[in-house]
Each structure stands twice: as structure tokens, then as C-alpha cells.
Amino acid sequence: MGRLPIRRRAIVWACIGALFVTATPFAQAQVYRWVDEEGVTHLSSEKPPPGVKAERLDIPGTSKRSSSSTARRSSGSTGSTAAPAASPAQVAQREELLGSLRTRECVVALEALERKTSGAEPTDATEIRRLKQTAELNCSQDPVRRREQEAMAAKLRVANSPACAAARNQLADMMAPDATVPREQLRAQQSFVDQHCTSPVR
């Protein structure tokens, strides 16, 4: 194929540059999640180490643009370029998502750790170590926030208890089409489940 005229080449490069500029705000709007060899879950806005397979969680509303811009950069770029900065709104969204995911991992780990070290379940040293590492990595270092996470873990422990499993089953039976349960009783059972047997994390 012959060389393009200088003017046309300039137009083509200008268009390519415009694509990079419009893709820039979406480039760092992802959160990465991966599990290491010890089974510990990692969450970060930075890409994992080379060779580590990670799940990429896109900020809502940016996945199409971010994936297409990544494809353009990897196919059309020959040199190393600095990662473009995310917009303030995307940084806030990303930090909120990271915080939510880390809280979930923390709460689940704390609840399992309490259950497995209280004698309620057989204890496995490797699993205990993994849970401690997960909690250390994801739980907040702020004392106030840490107490909130521990309270959530206690609530999760109750929600996972046999008593709550029975309460949810009873509510399901009371809501069956052929059930003839007084409305007040049904409302009281629903209120109990909502207040005591609902997981604080999803």
C-alpha cells in the first residue's frame, strides 16, 4: 500500500489522537479482584502482578469505553505510555466500590473466623491462617470503622444461625398460597426476619 499524502496522514493521526483523548477518563475506572496461592482475596485499583489471573470489575457505565480503549492502546501502541488519570467522579466511584468489596471480604472472614475458633466447627490451621490474612488485608485500620465491621460480622453470624434459618423457613411457609395465617402474625414474622436474620453484606 502506498504512502498516504502528508495532509491525509495528519488527519488520520489527529483522529487517532482524538480517540485516545475521549477514552482517557475511562481508562482507570476498574477494580481488580484475585485470589493468591494462599486463598486470600485481594482487591485493588491497580493491576495484579504479571501472570496473576484477575477478575476486572468495571465501574457502572464505563465498561464498554474502557474495554475498547484498552484494545486500542494494546493494538496501536508500540511504546510504554503512562496510564491516563481517571476523573474525580470515577475515582470516587472506584473507591466506594473498593470499600464495599473490602468490607464484604472483611465481614465474611471475621464471621467465619469466630465460628471456626469457637469450637462450633472443626478447625483447620490453614483455613484459620487464610481467614486471618483476609481480615488483615481487607478490614479497616480505623478503630471506629473496624468496630462497625465487627458488629456486621456478629449480625452475619446471627443471620447464618440455625434459628434464623428456621425463622426464614417459617416465614416462607406462612407466605404460601394455601396458608391461612393472620396478617398480624405474618407481619411480625417478617419484621423479625428483617431485623435479625438479614445478612448485612451481599
pTM of the model: 0.64
pLDDT at 38: 84
Cβ 123 vs Cβ 87: under 8 Å? no
From the centroid of its chain, how far is CA 177?
Answer: 37
CA–CA distance, 198 with 195 (Å, rounded to integer): 7
**29 Cβ contact partners less than 8 Å away, ≥ 6 residues apart:** 58, 59, 62, 66, 86, 90, 93, 94
Q: What is the pLDDT of residue 88?
A: 85
The pLDDT value recorded for residue 36 is 86
Predicted pLDDT of residue 44: 87
Sign of CA dihedral 73, 79, 80, 83: negative
pLDDT score, position 188: 95
Report the interhelical angle of 162-174 vs 143-159 (nearest 10°).
60
Beta-carbon contacts of 170 under 8 Å, excluding residues fewer than 6 positions away, are: 189
* pLDDT mean values, one per 10 residues, the chain (202 residues): 46 42 47 87 86 80 42 41 68 87 94 86 86 94 96 94 94 92 93 93 83
Residue 31: its pLDDT value, please?
86
Q: Which three cell numbers stand for residue 177?
A: 398460597
pLDDT of residue 121: 74
116 Cβ neighbours under 8 A, 6+ residues apart: 122, 123, 124, 127, 128, 131
Quote the CA–CA distance of 124 and 39 in Å, as a whole number: 14
Q: What is the pLDDT of residue 26?
A: 42
How confident is the model at residue 80, as a pLDDT?
47
Q: Could you write out the three-class secondary structure of the chain?
A: CCCCCHHHHHHHHHHHHHHHHHHHHHCCCEEEEEECCCCCEEEECCCCCCCCCCEEEECCCCHHHHHHHHHHHHHHCCCCCCCCCCCHHHHHHHHHHHHHHHHHHHHHHHHHHHHHHCCCCCCCHHHHHHHHHHHHHHCCCCHHHHHHHHHHHHHHHHHCCHHHHHHHHHHHHHCCCCCCCCHHHHHHHHHHHHHHCCCCCC
